[in-house]
Chains A and B, each alone.
Chain A
Amino acid sequence: MSGRKKSLLKVIILGDSSVGKTSLMNQYVNKRFSNQYKATIGADFCTKEVVVNDRVVTMQIWDTAGQERFQSLGVAFYRGADCCVLVYDVTAPNSFKNLDSWRDEFLIQASPRDPEHFPFVVLGNKVDLDNRQVSTRRAQQWCQSKNDIPYYETSAKEGINVEMAFQVIAKNALELEAEAEVINDFPDQITLGSQNNRPGNPDNCQC
């Protein structure tokens, strides 16, 4: 019966260019860090299977281009997202400042069912660097002001907090889905019934 549940979680990673979106994704999926990544053009995604609440789900993590010019592409990729990860670089105040616009843009383009409670997660990346410029407190304040978005400080390079953050991402995405399921339960049963009837159809329409 678990087969009927959707087992794919779509996660979108957003944030300014070179905050480490690609690195975070690859650190999480492949447990690898490379300093050879190029600027992402277009979009790419990775999948990873995770166990959340004793359920195996597949996370489809979308990595996007960071320059805001390319946001117009977003529509194609944001659609049907289950969770959105906003990433900024703790050494780049501007990337933090832009979280607001990334969030807004996402909500406009993805137009989720319930924008107020759509699961976001904020990651402050590159905490392994020395020249930190955005304080934890400021980031937390911002997250609190936006409906208590979970906030983690990560380092894709050192692998700090990455696993945990994505676990939370998966969990939050699944919760959203669980709510949606309640709504969808009824139509599901209808389709099941109609499928059962189908084999009989040829007999009925022989006129």
Chain B
Amino acid sequence: MRRKIGFWGAVWLLPALFVMTATFAAAAEKVYINGIDANFPPFAYVDKSGNPDGFDVKALDWIAKEMKFTVKHRPMDWDSIIPSLKARKIDVVASGMSITDERRKEVGFTAPYWKIAQVLVGKKDAKITAEKALADGNKIGVQRGTTEAKWIEENLIKKAGKKFELVQYDSAPLAIEDVINGRIVAAAMDDAPAMDAVKKKPVKILGGFGMADEQFGYAVRKEDTEFLKKLNDGLKKLMKSPYWAELKKSYIDK
């Protein structure tokens, strides 16, 4: 019965066609995609009109122009940013990523471009030191999947046997919100976003908690050595140019 096949064939063909057009649409001219965690001001966020902005975004734009490649920034979830890079969904992560040995096993990093310290943020009117904040029974917030989350768990909770409770959040600003609500005593995060929070919310930096300083670098796939070289060269040029100081002034020190 030919008609039978014709009818059901047509029914099944539709989704197949749909998938195919989507595949062809995706295969266009090479544009490097930068995956950013848009919940990480001032390094990466989206501005009022919805465009990606931030220190890392503008820095990479400059490098792309200098080294003659096209880059697009795609906001995404921090949790899936390294899987996305490895699965070729994005080509680079310029979004305040700390260089760690563990991440080095998965991805290639450029030279470090920013030094970052880890701090605890508490309520503005809190009479508490960083050390006291980590006392037994307290709750400390942290962004899930970050180096500080891992460090605190391994060193303070497992090794040092501290008995505070670590509460994991989607982003650092959400942890700040709970500091203000009083659900947690303090939130651990990088110093730059912490300073950003201090400007916008009734919180203050309590101090460090013993974690060593870290360096930010751009991450690429290990096999993309050519692209990595391009980024490294561009980064070197950028850090020597006056634009670097300008970036710092307008994004970090403002």
Whether both chains belong to one complex is answered with: no
Interface residues of A (CB under 8 A from B): none
